[in-house]
Amino acid sequence: MLKNIKMKKSFNEIINQDIPVLIDFTADWCGPCKSMAPILKQLKSELKDAISIIKINVDANKTLAAKYQVQGVPTFIIFKQGKQIWRQSGMQSISQLKKAIAS
């Protein structure tokens, strides 16, 4: 369900899906990132196949984190058909995430 990205597909292929793609830029050492895990799991269980949620470890994917100017973790970016439609850093509630996905 929620998994760390295994660059089997290119990042562009991942974000160019027809459904919204929530990218979670995270780090193993980040407490708030760990606190977001159950929220993201609940979001996925509620929205099912209407969303794709991808976790990207900034320490293992420095180039990608730099490309998207991730300054702190967690940082969330929602893409629809390859276009960034929302971005926010820090803890997010499930209602904030749902609202962003629906926009």
21-26 vs 3-4, strand pairing mode = unpaired
Catalytic residue from among 33, 73, 100, 101: 33
Number of structural domains the chain divides into: 1
**Cα angle vertex 73, ends 24, 90, to 5°?**
85
Q: How far apart are CA 93 and CA 103, in angstroms?
A: 16
The pLDDT assigned to 1 comes to 39
- Domain range spanning residue 31? 3-7+16-102
CATH classification of the domain holding 93: 3.40.30.10
- Looking at residue 8, its pLDDT comes to 57
Identify whether 30 is a catalytic site residue.
yes
**Residue 27 pLDDT exceeds 60:** yes
Is residue 2 scored above 80 in pLDDT?
no
Please tell me which residue in 5, 19, 30, 91 is annotated as part of the active site.
30
Angle at 66 between CA 63 and CA 77, to 5 degrees: 110
pLDDT in tens, 29-88: 999 999 999 999 999 999 999 999 999 999 999 999 999 999 999 999 999 999 999 999
The model carries a pTM of 0.90
